[in-house]
Amino acid sequence: MVRDDNSPSMELPSDSGSAVTIRNSDGMGGAVIVCGHGSHFIPVSVENLGLGDDALSSHVAWDPGASLVSEHLSTLLDAPFVRGEVSRLIYDCNRPPDADSAMPARSELFDIPGNANIDQAERDRRTNAVYVPFTECLQKVMAAAGPDAALVTIHSFVPVYHGKPRAVELGILHDTDTRLADAMLAAAPRHTTMNTLRNEPYGPEDGVTHTLKLHGVSNGVPNVMIETRNDLVATPEACEQVAKMLHGLIAEALAELQSA
Ligand SMILES: [Zn+2]
C-alpha cells in the first residue's frame, strides 16, 4: 500500500494525538499485549458516522472492558501494551485494508450510515490515519520485544448475539499456530471456572485472526487472541479479577512453551 500524502489528515484523540499508544514499552515479561478495539473515539470530521449516542457507546463501537483488562495484564506480566485509540467503526485494525469489514456498513444491531457509501479515497484516508500507524507501531514493539515474546490480543464480546445467549465465557482463539492456545486451554481448569472454549465465539473463518497472522504467525512467535464475555468485565473490579486470572493462565502457558 502506498501512502497518499495529499490526503487530509484525520483529527485524532486529543489526549494522545495518535491512532495508537504504547504503555510499558520497556516491559520484558515475554509477551506483548494488544487491544485493537479498546477505544470508541470517533473524529468530529465524520459527524459520528450518522449514529446516535446509543450506538456510539455500545459494543458496536468498541470492546467494553478490554482496555482495562489489557492495562492490568500489561502491569502483571510486565509486558508492553499497544492500544488502538480510534473506534473500530472508523477502521477495524483487526482487518486488512481490502476487507469490507475494515470499515463496516452494518454491525449486528445498527446500519452505519457514514460507512455506507465511502469511496476509495476515504478508505485510503482512514487506512493511512489509523491502520498504518497501528500496524507500524505493533511491528516495532514486536521487534523490540524480541523473538521470544508472545503476542496476546485482548477482546470482549456480547452475551447475546442476534437474540441468542452465548454460553461461552472465555474464548481462546488461534490461527495456524496453536501452541499458546493449546497450552492455555490445557491450563485453564487450574485457573478459572469460566466456560472456556477454543475458537469461540469466533474463529479464523470469521476473519478475526488478521492481527495474529500479521504479527505472530508470520514472525513465528507464539500468539493468541483472548475473548472475554463483556458481562464478566463490566466493572473495574471485574476487569482486575479477570486480568489476574489471565496473568496466571498466560504465565503458566508461556512457561510450558519455554520448557517444551
Ligand atoms: Zn474485538
Reference 180, options 136, 246, 228, 117; nearest CA is: 246
Residue 260 C-alpha to ligand 1 middle, in angstroms? 31
Is 90 exceeded by the pLDDT of residue 89?
yes
What local confidence, expressed as pLDDT, does residue 7 receive?
40
What local confidence, expressed as pLDDT, does residue 15 receive?
52
Residue 2: pLDDT band (50, 70, 90) is very low
What local confidence, expressed as pLDDT, does residue 56 receive?
86
Residue 113 CA to residue 146 CA, distance in Å, equals: 42
What local confidence, expressed as pLDDT, does residue 131 receive?
96
Residue 62 C-alpha to ligand 1 middle, in angstroms? 7
Structure confidence by residue, pLDDT tens digits, 195-215 = 999 999 999 999 999 999 999
Residue 59 C-alpha to ligand 1 middle, in angstroms? 9
Residue 228 C-alpha to ligand 1 middle, in angstroms? 10
State the pTM of this model. 0.93
Residue 61 C-alpha to ligand 1 middle, in angstroms? 10
Structure confidence by residue, pLDDT tens digits, 22-79 = 999 999 999 999 999 999 998 877 888 998 888 888 888 999 999 999 999 999 999 9
Residue 259 C-alpha to ligand 1 middle, in angstroms? 31
Residue 6 C-alpha to ligand 1 middle, in angstroms? 31
Please give the C-alpha separations between residue 235 and each of 69, 87, 142, 214, in angstroms, as whole numbers. 10, 21, 30, 32
